Structure 1
Amino acid sequence: MAMSRQYESKEPARDAVDVAPGPLVLEFGTPWCGYCQSAQPLIERAFERHPGVRHLKIEDGSGRPLGRSFGVKLWPTLVFLKDGRETARLVRPRKTADIEAALASIV
């Protein structure tokens, strides 16, 4: 599965995320966020080595329950899940190697 390139305006329910099988990365942010835009090349490079990991870009903001349930405060926030359990989290990642290490924790 390839990396998602567009933010989903309709987020999945937390119950669905908690029972999602296998590796999954939730990326919380917005298309207009400068930090989110600058992180995209790093995220894309990391996902090149992990094509089997599902990636969901969730458009976050005030009143969005999924981001609040994960305690997201800054964008982008990447939450790495394996079988619905969080194994790692990166906030405003600056290095591809950090994203790759977190991905390795869920594959």
Structure 2
Amino acid sequence: MVHEITDANFAAETATGTVVVDFWAPWCGPCKMQGPVIEELANEETDIKFCKMNVDDNQQTAGQFGIMSIPTLLILKDGKVVDQVVGYHPKAQLQKTLENYTV
């Protein structure tokens, strides 16, 4: 399951464990392609929490992390950014990236 998060609950939702945050917007073509991949991974990777944040509605957090292009995936470990992936990436490529952050 992918959790929708906002500026208001970002810190609480990403404070513990490994969390992938998908920064996206409804008008973004590559975001529409990335969304289903994130959904699939969320159903398979039980050690990782997956969240998505609409950058149009949550500009404060996007600005805080310098999100300039979407989709951008931030990988956080216990509230700290440990990796960033920009642009569309197929499932196999994301799985390989996430291998470094699973228990």
Same fold? TM cut 0.5? yes
Distance in 1 of aligned mates of 2:80 and 2:54: 21
Q: Give the alignment's TM-score, normalised by structure 2.
A: 0.79
**Is the CA contact (8 Å cut-off) linking 1:13 and 1:66 kept in structure 2?**
no
Q: 1:96 aligned to 2:100?
A: no
Q: Counterpart in 1 of 2:23?
A: 28
User: How many pairs align?
Assistant: 102
Distance across 1 between alignment mates of 2:22 and 2:89: 15
Relative to structure 1, is the Cα distance of residues 82 and 63 closer, same or farther in structure 2, using a 3 angstrom cutoff? closer
Q: Could you tell me whether the CA contact under 8 Å between 1:89 and 1:102 is conserved in 2?
A: no
**Percent same amino acid among aligned pairs?**
26
Task: Answer 1 or 2: which has greater helix percent.
Answer: 2
Question: Deviation at 1:3?
Answer: 2.5
Q: Any conservation in 1 of the 2:42–2:49 contact (CA below 8 Å)?
A: no
Q: Which residue of 2 aligns with 1:87?
A: 82
Aligned to 2:7: 11
- TM-score for the superposition, normalised by structure 1: 0.76
CA deviations over 1:48-76 (Å, ceiling 9, x no partner): 33133212211103871111111111111
Cα RMSD, aligned residues only: 2.5
* 74 and 62 in structure 1: CA distance in 2 versus 1, 3 angstrom threshold: farther
Paired amino acid for 1:24:
V
Aligned partner of residue 84 in structure 2, secondary structure: strand
- Aligned partners of 1:80 and 1:102 also within 8 Å: no
Residue matched to 1:48: 43
Relative distance call for 1:85 and 1:63 in structure 2 (3 A) is: closer
Structure 1 alignment gaps of length 5 or more: none
Structure 2: 5+ residue stretches without partners: none
Using a 3 Å threshold, how does the CA distance of structure 1 residues 104 and 68 change in structure 2: closer, same or farther?
Answer: same
Post-superposition Cα deviations, 1:26-63, rounded to whole Å, max 9, x if no partner, equal 11111221110011232233333313321221110387
